[in-house]
Amino acid sequence: MKIGLLGLGTVGAGAYEIIENQKGRLQEFYQEELTVERILVRNLNKKRPVEVPDGKLTCDADEILNDPSIDVILSLMGGMEPAKTYILKALQNGKHVITSNKAVVAANLSLFLNEAKKSNVAFLFEGAVGGGIPIIKPLKQQRRLNQIEAIEGILNGTTNFILTQMMENKLEFDTVLADAQARGYAEADPSADIDGFDVQRKIAILSSLAYGQEIPTEKVYTRGIRSIRGIDTDYFQSKNLDVKLVASSAQQDDAISIWVEPCIVDPSHRFYAIKNSDNVVSFIGHLSGRLDFVGAGAGMDPTANAVISDLMDILDNHYQADIIPLAIAKNVGPTHASQDYYLRVDLLSCTKSEQARLAEQLLNLGLANNQEIYQGMIEGIEASMMRAIVSDVEKECGSIFYARRLRG
Ligand SMILES: NC(=O)c1ccc[n+]([C@@H]2O[C@H](COP(=O)([O-])OP(=O)(O)OC[C@H]3O[C@@H](n4cnc5c(N)ncnc54)[C@H](OP(=O)(O)O)[C@@H]3O)[C@@H](O)[C@H]2O)c1
């Protein structure tokens, strides 16, 4: 089998290394030689974490996509374009495609699955969600009989690392973020992680597969952790709680509720023990009950291992049944159910009249006021009302952080 690699960064170098280091073992198993024919990069002269023979690297995608001898494309580059165009071209040219790019998958899942079906090839993306945790394959396999009712998880290692460090070492958000960037855990532009967009894409992909309906990312109500401060984590510590960025979706009748929000958990909750860059994904099936998957949510080896697992499914010819039709999702939105919430609102930079109007509302909810910082737990408030308060405060003047209380 001949392989074309698009990208030789963290995941691409990891995948290349596994294929090269495990060549003998893979050949023994599949009675077939696996060869990485060509590798697409932007910069031919960049120093690489792996050694690649002369002539394998190219900056011309067509040398790979139009090469009839290449059977499989590993698309391991980020961003929307040219990744989308390359994936489509590869599928249309009758090549199997494996990708770890969640952004392009979340935006084009139906399109890619349909193209793959037309060409009778595989489109697989285990590395795109959960990094090293095998979740896509069990989900696709289970949903055939075991109707998936809900999915819940901690799906981003960077934010879980930041929250763990803030909680355990009593550090401020900005300090931990700067440290995570210096160590290479967080991107120079951290928005996709800390504003929740990375998790939004992942829960959209998982939920689309689970419920058989393509869920646009913009339908996923999303709050990140950018506004969390030490005053919040001090409060959680004083109550023996921990805070996590959680993604959740559930299907009831024909409606899908789906959201990404910071959540607080007590030590009896299974998410409490998920620290630093570990991730967890749980799904509930009507036959299986709850199934939990825990492991490294990203990183070179775990993600590359997920990519190579997809490759082995192609070698095993185990991909046909994976091509599932997705309907257009109709009734999708955030939950309206009543929840308990932690809320902290800082009105210091508001005008006196804004302060007075908002303060009345916040005191009525039972929050304590300490020099125009309002803080506390609110029991049993409708999620839609919380969203209205957030939008009101943010529109006017104040900074706000809230976290839903997760039980069970
Ligand atoms: N890193 C992880 O742990 C992880 C985990 C799960 C999923 N993912 C996803 O996997 C994908 C790859 O992530 P990564 O961390 O490996 O990225 P990365 O380290 O930035 O590597 C990207 C690679 O793609 C190449 N590339 C990018 N744009 C290109 C273009 N227009 N033409 C040709 N080559 C191009 C780059 O070439 P140059 O090297 O020449 O610049 C580089 O080799 C992303 O979608 C990411 O979200 C990553």
Q: Residue 98 — pLDDT band, cuts 50, 70, 90? A: very high
Quick check: CB of 82 below 6 Å from ligand 1?
Answer: yes
The span from the CA of 307 to the CA of 42, in Å, is 21
Is the CB of 14 within 6 Å of ligand 1? no
**Could you please report the per-residue DSSP string of 348-382?**
TTS-HHHHHHHHHHHHHTT-EEETTEEEEEEEEEE
| Cβ contact 279:157 at 8 Å | yes
Confidence band of 291 (pLDDT split at 50, 70, 90)? very high
pLDDT at 350: 87
The predicted structure's pLDDT at residue 92:
98
Per-residue pLDDT tens for 34-71? 999 999 999 999 999 999 998 999 999 999 999 999 99
Closest by CA to 52, choosing from 60, 63, 41, is 41
Measured from the CA of 44, which atom of ligand 1 is nearest?
Answer: 40
User: Which token pair is 183?
Assistant: 């160590």
pLDDT digits over 167-180, tens only? Answer: 999 999 999 999 98
Q: Is the CB of 12 under 6 A from ligand 1?
A: yes
Helix (H, G, I), strand (E, B) or coil at 234: helix
Question: Where is pLDDT greater, at 393 or 149?
Answer: 149
Contact (Cβ atoms closer than 8 angstroms) between residue 209 and residue 177:
no
Task: Give the Cα separation of 75 and 69 in Å (integer).
Answer: 17
Instruction: Check whether 321 has a pLDDT greater than 60.
Output: no
CB 151 within 8 A of CB 207: yes
Q: Which atom of ligand 1 is nearest to the CA of 100?
A: 10
Task: Give the per-residue pLDDT at 323.
Answer: 60
Which pLDDT tens digit goes with each residue over 356-369? 989 999 999 999 99
Q: Report which of residues 98 and 182 the model is more confident about.
A: 98
Stated pTM of the model: 0.96
Q: How far apart are CA 70 and CA 225, in angstroms?
A: 43
Contact 52, 68 (CB under 8 A): no
Burial level of 111, CB count in 10 A (0-12/13-18/19+)? middle
Strand locations in 266-355 (E): 278-285, 289-296, 327-328, 331-333, 338-346
Residue 389 CA neighbour count, 13 Å, CB half:
26
The residues annotated as belonging to the active site are: 202
Q: Does 318 score more than 90 pLDDT?
A: no
CA of 59, closest atom in ligand 1: 33
- Whether the CB-CB separation of 38 and 63 falls below 8 Å is answered with yes
Taking CA atoms only, the protein residue closest to ligand 1 atom 25 is: 7
Look at residue 53 in the predicted model and tell me its pLDDT: 95
Q: Which is it for strands 278-285 and 289-296: parallel, antiparallel or unpaired? A: antiparallel
**Sorting pLDDT into bands at 50, 70 and 90, what band is 320?**
low
> To test ligand 1's pocket by mutation, which of 77, 97, 156 has the most ligand atoms within 8 angstroms of CB?
77
Ligand 1 close to Cβ of residue 200 (< 6 A):
no
Q: What's the one-letter identity of residue 170?
A: K
